[in-house]
């Protein structure tokens, strides 16, 4: 099979690039010839991404960004755009997953999830829009989740944040269509990553920590219909790469579910 080169000459910023799907997306875009900034709150995670990039590391810049902090986002996006010499693609993969009974969830815990996932996505987009307006075929890919549409128990805050991202994606697609900026969202589900298995490199990618008295029968319908078990993060990265490339030029204001048929 011929190696895809859809990202030759394209400049991309990927948040959450230190682990999981974000890291897989960075590596996929580099493999397709892109110049990429990987952003994450974890320096160790970013170092791991650089190592895994191998020979392509010359086209990779690592920038530490805490998406929950406005100043960090403002400074980090500016550094990313400067390093890239502009911006064509933005991928908002940074996020946290927290699980608990709703009646036992503190306001601080609920707001932290919204702050990182929803507000963080907004902040990065806001700071990146001026550069995207000057970009070549500019595209933004946000990370929603199957939890935005389907019942995932013990994850009310996470579901609320991802539902907000999905709605915001539609609004932004309409607002910036005349600027030529496409906005799409992916809805991963049944994907094995640092967020779902607890192996993430940073507090922006932490396992679900389900309650000790979890009723596992509530998860009976959350198995992939394809019968292959959970898929790896590269499964989502391939779709993200398509959406940010010329192949996705006629796709905007919508979301794509990637869950192996878990939710028919």
Per DSSP, the residues of 54-74 read: GGGGGGEEEEE--TT-HHHHH
Res 206: pLDDT: 38
Place of tokens 């991928």: 91
Res 264: pLDDT: 81
Element spanning 139, H or E: strand 139-143
Res 74: pLDDT: 98
pLDDT tens for the chain, 264 residues long, are 578 999 999 999 999 999 999 999 999 999 999 999 999 999 999 999 999 999 999 999 999 999 999 999 999 999 999 999 999 999 999 999 999 999 999 999 999 999 999 999 999 999 999 999 999 999 999 999 999 999 889 999 999 999 999 999 999 999 999 999 999 999 999 898 755 554 444 434 334 689 999 998 888 777 787 767 789 999 999 999 999 999 999 999 999 999 998 888
Q: Is 176 left (phi over 0), alpha (psi -120 to 50) or beta?
A: alpha
Q: CA angle, corner 147, sides to 171 and 155, nearest 5?
A: 115
Res 199: pLDDT: 45
Instruction: Return the SS3 of 189.
Output: coil
Res 209: pLDDT: 80
Res 19: pLDDT: 97
Angle between helices 20-31 and 233-244 (to 10 degrees): 50
Angle between helices 156-175 and 120-133 (to 10 degrees): 20
Q: How far apart are CA 171 and CA 176, in angstroms?
A: 9
Element spanning 104, H or E: none
Catalytic residue among 7, 154, 158, 176: 158
Contact 30, 53 (CB under 8 A): yes
Q: In the chain, what are the domain boundaries?
A: 11-257
Res 205: pLDDT: 38
Q: Is 7 a catalytic residue?
A: no
Which residues sit opposite 62 in a β-bridge?
38
Compute the CA torsion angle 188, 154, 150, 195 (nearest 10 deg): 0
Q: Which CATH architecture has domain 11-257?
A: 3-Layer(aba) Sandwich (3.40)
pTM to 2 decimal places: 0.93
């Amino acid at each position: 099979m011929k190696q895809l080169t859809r990202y030759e000459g394209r400049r991309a910023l990927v948040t959450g690039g230190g682990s999981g799907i974000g890291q897989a997306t960075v590596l996929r875009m580099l493999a397709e010839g892109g110049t990429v900034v990987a952003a994450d709150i974890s320096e160790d995670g970013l170092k791991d991404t650089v190592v895994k990039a191998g020979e392509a590391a010359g086209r990779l810049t690592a920038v530490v960004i805490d998406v929950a902090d406005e100043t960090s986002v403002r400074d980090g996006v500016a550094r990313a755009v400067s390093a890239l010499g502009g911006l064509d693609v933005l991928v908002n993969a940074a996020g946290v997953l927290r699980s608990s009974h709703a009646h036992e969830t503190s306001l601080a815990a609920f707001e932290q999830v919204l702050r990182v996932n929803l507000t963080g996505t907004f902040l990065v987009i806001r700071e990146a829009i001026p550069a995207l307006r000057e970009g070549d075929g500019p595209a933004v890919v946000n990370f929603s989740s199957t939890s935005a549409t389907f019942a995932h128990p013990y994850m009310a805050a996470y579901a609320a944040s991802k539902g907000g991202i999905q709605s915001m994606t539609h609004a932004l697609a309409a607002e910036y269509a005349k600027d030529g900026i496409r906005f799409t969202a992916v809805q991963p589900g049944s994907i094995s990553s640092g967020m779902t298995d607890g192996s993430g490199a940073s507090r922006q990618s932490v396992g679900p920590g389900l309650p000790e008295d979890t009723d596992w029968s509530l998860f009976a319908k959350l198995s992939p219909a394809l019968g292959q078990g959970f898929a790896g993060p590269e499964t989502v990265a391939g779709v993200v790469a398509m959406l940010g490339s010329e192949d996705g030029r006629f796709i905007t204001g919508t979301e794509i579910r990637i869950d192996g048929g878990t939710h028919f």
